[in-house]
């Protein structure tokens, strides 16, 4: 429908505007150029709620809100207890399997293919979009397995993960010597080690970057919330410390998508709202980091 036609129908025009406003900013996955929203959803701890029906229904509401806000990438692992099944049941109940970018991990020194198949059946998806070797566990064995799966078309992208600075030297070597589509690592306002080598290397090698622990499992926010949010945070659309911390992460040019975890519908909405303009430029990001370093 042409814009002029839309303007003749105020309700339609408003709906169009709402859709335009609700679409989150995306970044292309370097391997394919396909866009992915800059904020995703983690599942560690938050979705490990066992079999309790009300708790699982609540997780489904969080996923519903995430999808309503235009979110796509959900990250899980066989290490996260019941989280994979919680995600799978939620996606089935919401009839939303086709809307997600399903990112999972292989986390075993044993039979990786069997583990991936168990994970896939818990997610109830035909295949994963991304499979990552979790914390480099048995990566010499599991990365070739994932590469073979990719060649066969049973996964779209492969990668490796680390967190909190663990094994960065080895991580860097794998990034240099192997063909990877994604890496996942920790990067946040209080843990900026990845800025030195891993993020520039990812940009140089055309590897997408997922950022885990953007809030240090909530510790970072508890620390910041003792202080007032600076008034100038409004210049980049931040109304809370969570948005300030997340905009800092996704504003880095090498970061493809951050994956905060939450149990709360209002927090998932708040987090998704950060994936909207304006994002901080380099000068603003320096200002943000300098400000929190002084607190």
CB 160 within 8 A of CB 154: no
The Cβ of residue 99 has, within 10 Å, a number of other Cβ atoms equal to 12
Nearest C-alpha neighbor of 91 from the set 117, 67, 55: 67
Q: Measured from the CB of residue 74, what is the shortest distance to ligand NAP in angstroms? A: 8
Identify the residue whose tokens are 């909190």: 164
Task: Please say whether the beta carbons of 70 and 24 come within 8 A.
Answer: yes
Q: Shortest distance, CB of residue 15 to ligand NAP, whole angstroms?
A: 27
Q: What is the CA radius of gyration of the chain?
A: 19
Tokens 């987090």, residue located? 271
Binding mask 6-45 for ligand NAP (x = CB under 6 A): ------------------------------------xxxx
DSSP 28: E
Of 26, 147, 154, 163, which one interacts with ligand NAP (CB under 6 A)?
163
Of 27, 120, 252, 267, the residue at the interface with ligand NAP (CB under 6 A) is 267
* Residues of this chain, 80-119, that bind ligand NAP according to CB under 6 A: none
141 binds ligand NAP (CB under 6 A): no
Choose one: 3-11, 150-158, 193-201, 209-217; the region binding ligand NAP (CB under 6 A).
209-217
If one asks whether residue 215 binds ligand NAP (CB under 6 A), the answer comes out as yes
Using CB under 6 A as the binding rule, whether residue 58 contacts ligand NAP is answered as: no
Single residue of 70, 112, 260, 280 touching ligand NAP by CB under 6 A = 260
Q: What is the DSSP letter of 113?
A: H
Q: Per CB under 6 A, does 270 bind ligand NAP?
A: yes
Among 86, 242, 250, 275, binds ligand NAP (CB under 6 A): 242
The stretches of the chain forming alpha helices (DSSP H) are 3-8, 10-22, 53-68, 83-93, 112-123, 139-152, 168-177, 198-205, 219-224, 241-250, 265-273, 282-294
Residue 237 near ligand NAP by CB under 6 A: no
Tell me which stretch binds ligand NAP (CB under 6 A): 16-24, 173-181, 199-207, 212-220. Answer: 212-220
Query: Applying CB under 6 A, what is the total number of residues that bind ligand NAP?
Result: 30
Beta bridge partners of 256: none
The DSSP line for 203-254 is HHHT-EEEEE-TTGGGHHHHHHTTSPPPGGGGGGT--SHHHHHHHHHHTSTT
261 binds ligand NAP (CB under 6 A): yes
Q: Which residues bind ligand NAP (CB under 6 A)?
A: 42-46, 75, 134-135, 161-163, 184, 212-218, 221, 242, 259-264, 267, 270-271
């Amino acid at each position: 429908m042409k814009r002029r036609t839309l303007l003749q129908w105020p309700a339609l025009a408003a709906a169009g505007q709402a859709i335009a406003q609700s679409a989150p900013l995306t970044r292309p996955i370097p391997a394919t150029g396909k866009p992915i929203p800059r904020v995703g959803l983690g599942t560690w701890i938050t979705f490990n709620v066992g079999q309790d029906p009300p708790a699982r229904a609540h997780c489904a509401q969080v996923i519903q809100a995430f999808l309503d806000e235009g979110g796509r990438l959900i990250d899980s692992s066989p290490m996260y207890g019941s989280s994979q099944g919680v995600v799978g049941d939620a996606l089935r109940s919401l009839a939303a399997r086709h809307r997600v970018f399903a990112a999972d991990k292989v986390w075993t020194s044993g039979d990786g293919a069997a583990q991936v198949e168990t994970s896939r059946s818990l997610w109830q998806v035909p295949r994963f979009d991304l499979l990552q070797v979790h914390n480099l566990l048995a990566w010499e064995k599991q990365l070739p397995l994932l590469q073979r799966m990719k060649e066969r078309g049973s996964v779209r992208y492969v990668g490796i993960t680390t967190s909190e600075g663990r094994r960065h030297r080895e991580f860097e070597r794998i990034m240099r010597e192997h063909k990877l589509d994604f890496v996942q690592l920790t990067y946040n306002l209080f843990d900026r080690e990845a800025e030195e080598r891993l993020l520039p290397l990812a940009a140089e090698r055309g590897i997408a970057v997922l950022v885990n622990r953007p809030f240090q499992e909530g510790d970072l926010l508890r620390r910041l919330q003792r202080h007032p949010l600076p008034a100038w945070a409004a210049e980049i659309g931040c109304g809370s410390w969570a948005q300030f911390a997340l905009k800092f992460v996704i504003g880095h040019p090498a970061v493809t998508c951050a994956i905060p975890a939450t149990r709360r519908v209002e927090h998932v909405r708040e987090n998704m709202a950060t994936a909207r303009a304006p994002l901080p430029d380099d000068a603003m990001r320096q200002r943000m980091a300098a400000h929190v370093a002084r607190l």
